[in-house]
Structure 1
Amino acid sequence: MMKYLLLACAGLAAHLTQAQTENWAVSLISPAMTLNADAVLRLDELNYTVRSPTDAVLRVRQVITILNEKADGKAQLVVPYDKFSKVTDIEGAIFDASGKQVKRLKQAEITDLAYAQDNYADDSRYKVAQFSRQLAYPYTVEFRYEVSSRNLMFYPTWQPQDDERLSVIHSRFIVDVPAMMPLRYKEANLTRTLTKQASTEVKDGFAYAWQVDTLPAIEQEPLAPMLAERVPTVYTAPNQFTVQDYIGSCATWKDVGDFYYVLNKGRDALPDAVRRQVQELVAGEKTVAGKVQKIYDQLQKQARYISIQLGIGGWQTIEASRVAQTHYGDCKALTNYTKAMLGVVGIPAYEALVKAGESAPDIRTDLPGFQFNHVFLCVPNNRDTLWLECTSQLSPVGYLGNFTGNRHVLLITPEGGKLVRTPAYTPDNNRQRRSATVVLTPEGAATVHVQSVYTGLQQEPYIDVIHGLTHDQQRDWLIKSTNLPSFELTGFGFAETKATIPAITETITLSTRRWASPSGSRLFLPLNLLSATSLAPVLTKPRQSPVVLKYTYDFEDTDTIRYTLPDGFAPEYALAPLSLDTKFGTYQARADVQGNQLIYTRRLRMHRGRYPAEAYADYADFRKKVARADKAQLVLIKKEVAAVAPK
């Protein structure tokens, strides 16, 4: 007992000595480190020690100065854990602007919460530490915590500057591993090389260390690459690991797939009654595509999605027989269930692991590991591979959209993992085709009928509108999203076409008192009130980052608006056709008169790409020219006035 008491006293004395020598006064921060910053990371120490394939500990210490209310979230600590990990220690302190410690974190200020919520079953939990008393700005918080883990499928990522509005004074990352478990890592945006030496934490092991100093906050720029592409980052991954008696390796993508395959092998058995139903369902279908369609339709009618993350169940599916009984499951379970039904009729299919999400980056293909957050299904069909999003009751066969499209996925085969890429959607897939008729009065009022067909990515915002809103809510949504002067929506409707490239047709009729503006004997007619483009943001400083037009920039918008002019009115002058052709996209617009009909046509085609920083000026100029053209007005004048107008 005396031995442990002496050790505890020694540890406390070390903390007290360190606290006495450290000074967290805000005045010590260089002005350059507060420029564009909401918070300053004064000290950041992350130590990850791997003792064996089943045992690791993470120790973290952070000192952060909060400059304003925008960074209050950084004064709160959130530490996740689950049945394979344990939070063994959390400490904290808060300091005023002078660097004086005002108080230490109390146990009552640490709460323990569950992730579980509606449609979500998860045994993961998290501890939240937050001071009950907030100081005047600026103030400083310090947190220390320790987490032990028995699941080494995942190693930590070091990215001290995780926010553009955060500056970093000092950060250090140390990983200790046994000699028989060499560290696998990937560096990005580092100016200093790592150091590697004998470990003092692990017997016969090695310590890898990285350090960065003086990282100012980053100027926020439009169309910039993701933050991870611009700040120092180190990704780490295991070589070998063991979790709940399952042994795995991340040395290659084949190995990653092998582990997932073994983890879920034998969980696709279906009850005999379900097998008979599947066979009857596809009876008479001659093609693979036809059989897949019927089975997928059946899945969407019967099953619903519930996220299940229980223990190793976060990666191991529940059995297909249970899904058949309960009619629900998570992405793994519904994918496995669909695969099992296809197997009944002899159609092979493979789970596809993916990092899903509209803004999610692609996985790091040169660092195999568990970088995924979702599973869906791949059905080979000669050269026409079919992709099935088994968690959706709305997606058509073959369509991935921006959730899982245009990225690498890992197919799980009996021979191991195979890395492939999902389809990308082009401007020809992502279209808005708009046709409108506008009948004008001499006073500038109009009755309008518009039909818009949206395909691919452009139809996605309308899915929730059609299936998630009532008729009255849809009407309110249309009124809010239609950018016109005061108008009355007199009718609307939606029609959905399910296909590999799905489409939604929107039809609206409306009346407005001010489509054109009268002035004496003239009417000033804006030609494009429905699809006007905005200006690109103006830069106030020289641009630093590349210009990235993301996946959603692959689109084509075409508009054809037929105006019926008021009796006695004609254009005072012709509008010259405009055509722009740049590396970012193309634009054409023209207005033609045929009797009392004025036909306005417009076509904007954009495509994604990555360009150097200096290209932003050209991009902004293109957007400016398009925006100016979209604001073009045609002056209409009464014919009798035009006849006597001076030459």
Structure 2
Amino acid sequence: MLLLIFALFLCLSGAYAQPNLDSLVINAPGLDVYPQASAVILLDHSMTELKKDGQSIVHREFLCKILDERAKDVFGDQSVRFDADQDTVIIESARTRLPDGQWIEPEADAFTLTSAPEVQWASAYSQLKQRNVAFPGMAVGAALHFMYRIEPKPGAKPPKKPQDGGITLFGGYEPILDKRCTVITEAPRLIRHEMQNSDYKPLVSEQGGRITYIWTMQNCPQIVREPNSVGLADLVPRLVWTTFSDWEALGLYVAEWFWEKVDSSAQAVEGFLKITSPDLHGKPALMHTANWMLFNIRTVRLAFGSVGYEPNAADRVWQNKYGDPRDKAVLLTSLLRAYGFNPVPVLVQNSSTPFSNLPVLEQFRHIILAVPTESDTIWLDPTADFYTPGTLPYNATLGTGCMLTAGAPMLLNVPAGSADSRGAKTEIRTTLKLDGELTGSAVCVPQGDRAASARRQFKDQKAQERDIYTQTVASSFGQGTNVKGFTVSNVADLNEPVAVQLDFECPEFAVKQGDLMLVELPGMPFDFGSTGFYPALPQVKYPVQLPGRRRTISEVTLSIPQGYAVSFMPSPLVIDNPFVNFELTTSQEQSVIRWTQTVEIKGDKVSVADYPALRDAYEALVIPKNRMVILEKK
């Protein structure tokens, strides 16, 4: 066992013999074996050492061979993120093996230290740094070798509340020939672990009180990207591990930090009540405070845990006028408590990745608030800049949430709301003239995520950008469509519904054939008015990720010209399966045809076996006759 540990140490300490690297590169499979790959990962080894005092050291070694031009940009620049207040990055090897076999090293100026891009204008998070390396000589046939360690900076004190955990994927969008993850620990810092999507068990050994866990997989297959495919976490073996003994320990760890910072809020509360109405009560006070937060405290978009789990104090967030999800949740909680509310923080996965029942903190990527009221619970995301308070982004409702209630936390599913609350309704009122010209207006009222998409698109849109967008939308009716008017509601007011209206005229919209006039009813002109999904591939290799539960309704009324009668119009259609529900109805009242299409997405994921049923449903919906009206002279 000592020999095994010593060999592993050599591999990750810079003593890896160059002839071994040469052999790996020379004998690496190429495009003949992996025709859809851009690179082949020859080895990817990581090792985490957990110290008794709560500190940890992370080692990583990476060897990659470039197979095509695309990979040069993907792999040529490597970055290592770390907390500069606590840690330092030691680069042990950064070299390129040229196609002719020569090894070269980057020049001194190829090594840089920068702040992470997300915190460029947020000095409160300036500790989030990146050690960057630009590898020279990137070319097809070249290989890069990168080895580093992240260790406590000299003089850094051990953490007051030591906690460690991690998530490692054994597979990716490029083939991996040798993937290894090692965790070395010792009492009392023991770990719990789970391998998802696989029954693989680690090699576990103990020597002198130190326990070593080694997970190794060879020839991890390449995942070839497909449109709308689920993420890697659903497709490859996924290791999760944690030092928390149970969920109660996890909840206490996060909650203690959170409430300590909420309590440090005297300045924030006093300042807020001076600039707002302290006489508000009940739901108006809650909505006012949540609105104020969205508009006045800038969001720094960092995933939960990116700069640790200890947030800044509410008073500091108030002074900074910006915050990441942790900090904005802390400040909003302190302000709402001033009005008598008792918000509860809720950790959410923010995606539909597999959930582990082990208390793995790293699987939560966001934090929201649940605010109990007399009649119900209002859910708030203080970083959802384009959502009406009380409406969560759909991602925040995915997966499993962890509500940090007193005592043991509660695992729950965050309510997503109805499909109507996340859809859109579009009404297209049109009149067809004798010469085939179509005039009318299209009005779209989106909700939830679709409304947020519209707010994001139109907020701060410049006049020239608006003109281009308007003409693009108008062209969906046909070539030569003229815009007669275009209006957008005040998208900056989150309490006002979003409404977008286009007035248009389209010459030669209908096709005249003798006594017949062929009319293809207008499609959806606004991208935020549709579900944003279509299963384009005839078949798939991986499960499909649907865009979220939502319902869109499109209603077209067509006033037909005098002297014409309806010869054909679409038949009713109903398609209902576990994933989607489609309804199509057409009716005629005197000279007006009313066509209504409802598209509802009911699920989140579709298996490979169920994909044909999903595609068949869409194919049946979009066949041309479902939008075709034929008029005939009387």
> Which bin holds the TM-score, normalised by the shorter protein?
0.7 to 0.9
Aligned to 1:189: 197
Residue-by-residue CA offset, 1:187-220 (whole Å, 9 max, x unaligned): 1233532111124xxx421111111112232243
Name the structure 2 match of 1:453: 445
Q: 1:323 & 1:575 partners in 2: Cα distance?
A: 58
Q: 2:543 aligns with which of 534, 546, 565?
A: 546
Please give the alpha-carbon distance, in whole angstroms, between the structure 2 residues aligned to 1:12 and 1:290. Answer: 58
User: How many residues are paired up?
Assistant: 604
Aligned to 1:583: 578
- Return the alpha-carbon distance in structure 1 between the equivalents of residues 442 and 301 of structure 2: 40
1:19-67 deviation line (CA, Å, top 9, x unaligned)? 2685134554276742321111112222222222422222221211111
Please say if 1:91 is aligned against 2:64.
Answer: no
Q: 2:175: which partner in 1?
A: 167
Deviations 1:152-191 (A, max 9, x none): 534343224232xx01112222211114322222212335
Match of 1:316 among 294, 310, 321: 310
What residue in structure 2 maps to residue 4 of structure 1? none
Is the deviation greater in 512-521 or in 367-376? 367-376
After TM superposition, give the deviation of residue 324 of structure 1 in Å: 4.5
SS of 2:609's partner is helix
How many angstroms does 1:235 deviate by?
1.7
Partner of residue 46, structure 1: 46
- Structure 2 equivalent of residue 612 of structure 1: 607
1:342-370 deviation per Cα after TM superposition (whole angstroms, max 9, x unaligned): 223332222333344xx574753433324
| Residues 383 and 622 (structure 1), Cα distance of their counterparts in 2 relative to 1, 3 Å cut | same
CA distance in 2, matches of 1:15, 1:216: 28
How do 1:391-470 and structure 2 match up within 5 A? Answer: 391-392=383-384, 394-415=386-407, 417-470=409-462
Q: Among residues 132, 139, 142, which one is paired with 2:136 in the alignment?
A: 132
Identity %: 16
Q: Distance in 1 between matches of 2:541 and 2:323?
A: 46
Corresponding residue for residue 212 of structure 1 = 217
**CA shift for structure 1 position 77:** 2.1
Structure 2: state its 5+ residue gaps.
1-9, 153-157
Residue pairs, 1:166-565, within 5 angstroms: 166-190=174-198, 192-199=200-207, 203-237=208-242, 239=243, 250-264=244-258, 265=260, 267-271=263-267, 274=270, 277=273, 281-283=277-279, 285=281, 288-300=282-294, 302-306=296-300, 314-325=308-319, 327-356=321-350, 361=353, 364-382=356-374, 384-392=376-384, 394-415=386-407, 417-470=409-462, 473-482=465-474, 483-486=476-479, 487-495=481-489, 503-530=497-524, 536-539=535-538, 543-550=540-547, 552=548, 554-565=549-560
Conserved 8 A contact 1:571-1:636:
yes
Give the Å deviation of 1:499. 11
1:456, CA displacement in angstroms?
2.0
More deviation, 595-604/145-154: 145-154
Unmatched tracts of structure 1, length 5 or more: 1-9, 240-249, 640-647
Question: Which residue in 2 is equivalent to 1:245?
Answer: none
Q: 1:500 to 1:353 in 2, by over 3 A?
A: farther
CA distance, structure 1, for counterparts of residue 221 and residue 509 of structure 2? 50
2:146 counterpart of 1:143: yes
- Counterpart of 1:34 in structure 2 is 34
TM-score normalised by L of structure 1: 0.83
Contact residue 434 and residue 451 of structure 1 kept, 8 A: yes
Query: Cα distance, 1:320 vs. partner?
Result: 2.9
Q: Distance in 2 between matches of 1:566 and 1:85?
A: 75
Q: Relative to structure 1, is the Cα distance of residues 95 and 262 closer, same or farther in structure 2, using a 3 angstrom cutoff?
A: same
Partners of 2:394 and 2:333 in 1: how far apart? Answer: 23
Which residue of the partner structure matches residue 616 of structure 2? Answer: 621
Distance 2:14 2:335 in 1: 63
Mapped partners of 1:452, 1:64: distance in 2: 50
When structure 1 is superposed on structure 2, of 502-511 and 203-212 the one drifting more is: 502-511
1:489 deviates by 1.7
Is the Cα–Cα contact under 8 Å of residues 557 and 604 in structure 1 kept in the other structure? yes
Which letter maps to 2:85?
K
C-alpha contact (below 8 Å) 2:572/2:583 kept by paired residues: yes
Counterpart amino acid of residue 103 in structure 1: I
Question: Relative to structure 2, which stretch is displaced further, 439-448 or 530-539?
Answer: 530-539
Corresponding residue for residue 80 of structure 2: 79
3-state DSSP of counterpart to 1:437: strand
DSSP 3-state at the match of 1:52: coil
Partner residue in 2 for 1:157: 167
Secondary structure of 1:23's partner? helix
**Distance in 1 (alpha carbons) for counterparts of 2:448 and 2:385:** 17
Q: Distance in 2 between matches of 1:578 and 1:400?
A: 33
Q: Secondary structure at the match of 1:463?
A: helix
Say whether the 8 Å CA contact 2:14–2:93 is kept in structure 1. Answer: no
What secondary structure is seen at the aligned counterpart in 2 of 1:572? strand
| 1:409-466: CA deviation from partner (whole Å, max 9, x where unpaired) | 3334454644333211332322322222211122221111122221122212111234
**Distance apart, 1:403 and its partner CA:** 4.3
Q: Is the 8 A contact 1:525 1:634 kept in 2?
A: yes
Between the aligned partners of 1:12 and 1:161, the Cα distance in structure 2 is 20
Shift of 1:508: 1.7
Describe the shift of the 1:416–1:20 C-alpha distance in structure 2 as closer, same or farther (beyond 3 A). closer
Q: Is the 8 A contact 2:169 2:238 kept in 1?
A: yes
Contact 2:14-2:147 at 8 Å conserved across structures: no
Determine if contact 2:233/2:353 at 8 Å carries over to the other structure: no
Equivalent position SS for 2:623: helix
Shift of 1:475: 4.0
Contact 2:538 2:615 in 1 (8 A): no
Quick one: structure 1 residues 343 and 577, their matched pair in 2 at CA, closer, same or farther if it must change by over 3 Å? closer
The verdict on how the C-alpha distance between 1:159 and 1:284 changes in structure 2, with shifts beyond 3 A counting, is closer
SS at structure 2 position matched to 1:448: strand
1:544 is displaced (CA, Å) by 3.7
TM-score with structure 2 length normalisation? 0.85
Aligned partners of 2:76 and 2:138 also within 8 Å: no
**SS state at 1:434 partner:** strand
Once the two structures are superposed, residues 558-609 of structure 1 have per-residue CA deviations (whole angstroms, 9 ceiling, x without a partner) of 2222211122222234543333333332323233333322222222222114
Deviations, residues 103-148 of structure 1 (Å, cap 9, x unaligned): 234544322222241346422211112223223x122221111221
Task: Give the SS at the match of 1:281.
Answer: coil
Distance 1:38 1:207, change over 3 A: same
Query: Does the CA contact (< 8 Å) of 1:168 and 1:213 recur in 2?
Result: yes
Once the 2 structures are TM-superposed, how far is the Cα of residue 339 of structure 1 from its aligned partner?
2.0
Work out the CA distance in 2 between the residues paired with 1:607 and 1:393.
Answer: 26
Cα distance in 1, alignment partners of residues 490 and 625 from structure 2:
29
Instruction: Give the letter for the 1:88 counterpart.
Output: I
Using the alignment, how far apart are the partners of 2:305 and 2:541 within structure 1? 45
Q: What secondary structure is seen at the aligned counterpart in 1 of 2:489?
A: strand
